[in-house]
Amino acid sequence: MNFLTDEENERYQRQIVLKSIGKEGQELLKKSRVAIVGLGGLGSISAMYLASMGVGFIRLIDKDVVEVSNLQRQILYTVHDLASPKVEVAKSRLEAMNPYCKVEPLSVFVSPKNIKEIVEGVDLVIDGLDSFSSRFVVNKACVQKNIPYVFGGVLGTLGNTSTFIPYDDSPCLECIFSKVRDEELETTETAGVHPSIIGIISCIQISEAVRIITGKKPLLKGKLLFGDLENLDFQSIEIVKNPSCPTCSKKRP
Ligand SMILES: [Zn+2]
């Protein structure tokens, strides 16, 4: 059932010839199920590339409608979509880009009440959120259900990203960010955000997601990558499990 049709072979030819994907990897992409939480700047790009690349099922989670101030960076949407729910607009656009990708829209805010439904049956979760309180909810569910979580965050000209693999003894989001409080952080509304850093960070998230789906080691497991467009400085630091992490230290073996 995961075999590729002739049309799919042609559609994906430029990545099937890549050693890192190949036909087997393409079939794994077709079989894969991904949740993208948050459909702003980061989530728009992740959704478009993963749909184009042939991920078979994408669940989109976002409660917002399209606003004019989104259009500078959230490249899934146009002026014709203003006031429409992002997940509905995204579903029709993504399925038009690639009819082989099935898209499930969930127009909800991420909360402890619905997180089970959000992560149910997916192979990995991609972060497109803009608050740590929501991310902690997602992270906790991913730790409990052993689902890889590809984190990404952007502000101003800065971005960071990491890949958390609960079943592979990697640190989780709260191992490194548990003390972060949203009230103490600037937002893109006050600090702005450069679309270029969104593109860079989301494309790294996509690369990590494809590595996980195709059975390769994600390169940001146990690492946090920082980037700044102002000096084009990109560095990664090693991160380790926090033995008193409120989320993953309590997990039963
Ligand atoms: Zn942890």
Residue 112 token pair = 């402890």
Q: How confident is the model at residue 167 (pLDDT cuts 50, 70, 90)?
A: confident
**pTM reported for the whole predicted model:** 0.96
Q: Is the pLDDT of residue 2 over 70?
A: no
Residue 131 token pair = 């608050």
Beta bridge partners of 12: none
**Ligand 1 mean position to 177 CA, how many Å?**
9
**Ligand 1 mean position to 171 CA, how many Å?**
5
Q: Is the pLDDT of residue 105 over 90?
A: yes
Which is more confident, 2 or 159? 159
Task: Name which of 76, 68, 229 is nearest 156 in CA terms.
Answer: 229
User: What backbone phi and psi angles, to 5 degrees, belong to 104?
Assistant: -110, 115
pLDDT digits (tens, 9 = 90+) for 50-67: 999 999 999 999 999 999
Residue 79 token pair = 């002026």
The whole-number pLDDT of residue 39 equals: 98
- Give the start-end residues of each E strand in 169-222: none
pLDDT digits (tens, 9 = 90+) for 209-219: 999 999 999 99
Integer Rg of the chain from CA: 17
Q: What is the DSSP string of 33-83?
A: EEEEE--SHHHHHHHHHHHHHT-SEEEEE---BB-GGGTTT-TT--GGGBT
**Ligand 1 mean position to 176 CA, how many Å?**
7
pLDDT digits (tens, 9 = 90+) for 111-122: 999 999 999 999
Q: How confident is the model at residue 168 (pLDDT cuts 50, 70, 90)?
A: confident
The whole-number pLDDT of residue 251 equals: 63
**Average of pLDDT values for 80-88?**
98
**Ligand 1 mean position to 242 CA, how many Å?**
6
Helix (H) / strand (E) element for 154: namely: strand 149-155
**Ligand 1 mean position to 148 CA, how many Å?**
13
Place of tokens 């000096």: 231
Q: Could you tell me if 178 and 243 are in contact, meaning their C-beta atoms sit under 8 angstroms apart?
A: no
The whole-number pLDDT of residue 252 equals: 55
**Ligand 1 mean position to 166 CA, how many Å?**
9
* Alpha carbon distance 43, 64 (integer Å): 13
* Homologous superfamily in CATH for domain 32-238: NAD(P)-binding Rossmann-like Domain (3.40.50.720)
**Ligand 1 mean position to 248 CA, how many Å?**
4
